[in-house]
Amino acid sequence: MKEVLIKVLNSTRWSLLVFVILFTILNSLLFLKLGIKVVDDSPRYLGYADRIMEMGFFFDPHEFWYISYPLFMILVRMVHDSMEMVIISQVLLSLGALVAIYLTSLKLFKNPVAAFLTGFLYMLFFEISIYNYYILCESFFVSMTCISLYFLVKWYKNEITPANIILGTLVLVLTLFAKPTGIVLLAAIISYWIYRIFASIHRPVLKICLGLGLLIPLFLLGNKMLTTFSFMNEYIRGDVIFGMFQYKNSPHYELLTVARPDTLYIPDAQHSPLVRLFLFVLFNPIYWGTLFLSKIFLFLFHIRPFWSTWHNLFSLIYLIPVYYFAMKAIRKKTVTGEESVFVMVYILFHAMIVGIMTEDWDGRFLIPVLPVILIPAGLGISHLFAENEKKPKLHFVTDNLENSFLPKF
């Protein structure tokens, strides 16, 4: 049994075969259980796609930040105009994402055990695959995030060709506009470059000017995007979960809201979103801090009082070790400083956005964060095998399958 396991781990071909088999079983069961799920937010994407098909491209101040998903639906519906075709395409893209995250880890760390564990952990958190059957942008967004990471690592390893520059850039742009939080990927890339540039600059004034020159446009873009969101209403109502004010008779209402103080300061609506946010935090620090931390807690641990005990237990049993081993890999410096900056900025910005805005009922905001966490987590867990392995130590050599039959981008 051990020899078979070693053979699978050593071989990219066998590892991918295992993933395809497990993915097929998991997604077949999910399809039988879920079918096609059209939910409250689905008409937004379907409607935007329909209007683009009828009127041509146009700018919608709010939906534009999700435009990649309607464009994706238009493309697949040109093949066959049905919801079934959208779901099939999401499933196939999700399989591509699984392959991409495996190859990303393998290329980054040259450690097939870490790569296999990363892919397995990605599939084990089955809620990622659940969104394949929803007409929502989550499945598309997380899949495109995984594929974006693959191209970013290829460029990071200086595997640059005209083809992968063009295709990788297209993938990145589609990822950035799949959801408003796509901007976090841009922030992580900018932070990575700031880290690298700062390492070669010795004048503090020049570092400050460069940092501001890169970050100010990002904040201005964030401020522009926030103009279409009503996060201040969530603050006024004290909702931790979006729209909780509608369920005051729920037994979970007090757990998912924060009592509003009588002296709550509400900034003037004429101010820009970031100015309103700053003033609200400044004059209501304890109330806002309680709201912020409550949302972060639900976001990171992926638990809800209205979910089953088994669901909450699975989230904790899965996520706590994943977070621990990811941090362990970063602390041991087996992940380089520039890689750590990318990972930490990506995670922290996502968490900050949820804390500032709101957390959702189904916890879907965590899904696109997991790929970036699972890559160092897989590496961290792989160290257990190395530490426990007695002499002679295993020497892993991959069969370089990526270069043998996958397209050379």
**Residue 88's pLDDT is what?**
95
**What is the DSSP track for 140-153?**
HHHHHHHHHHHHHH
Residues of the chain with pLDDT under 50: 390-409
311 CA to centre of own chain: 20
Q: Is the dihedral of CA 45, 50, 53, 58 positive or negative?
A: negative
Contacts of residue 240, Cβ cutoff 8 Å, sequence gap at least 6: 256, 257, 258, 291, 294, 295, 298, 358, 359
- CA dist 315 and 362 (Å) reads 13
**Residue 193's pLDDT is what?**
85
C-alpha pair distances (Å), 323 with each of 122, 124, 185, 259: 14, 15, 20, 31
As a 3-state breakdown, the chain gives helix, strand, coil percent values, each rounded to 5, of 75, 0, 25
Contacts of residue 111, Cβ cutoff 8 Å, sequence gap at least 6: 105, 379, 382, 396
* Cβ pair 258, 238 in contact under 8 A: yes
**Residue 25's pLDDT is what?**
96
**Residue 34's pLDDT is what?**
93
- CA dist 86 and 94 (Å) reads 12
Mean per-residue pLDDT over the chain, rounded: 87
C-alpha pair distances (Å), 26 with each of 33, 55, 85, 95, 128: 11, 39, 19, 11, 11
**Residue 41's pLDDT is what?**
87
Residues listed for the chain: 409
**Residue 206's pLDDT is what?**
74
pTM, entire model = 0.88
For residue 118, give the nearest of 109, 328, 7, 11 by alpha carbon: 109
6-59: pLDDT as tens digits = 666 777 888 899 999 999 999 999 999 999 999 888 998 998 898 888 888 777
- CA dist 56 and 49 (Å) reads 10
**Residue 396's pLDDT is what?**
44
- CA dist 382 and 325 (Å) reads 9
In the DSSP assignment, the letter for residue 324 is H
* Cβ pair 374, 118 in contact under 8 A: yes
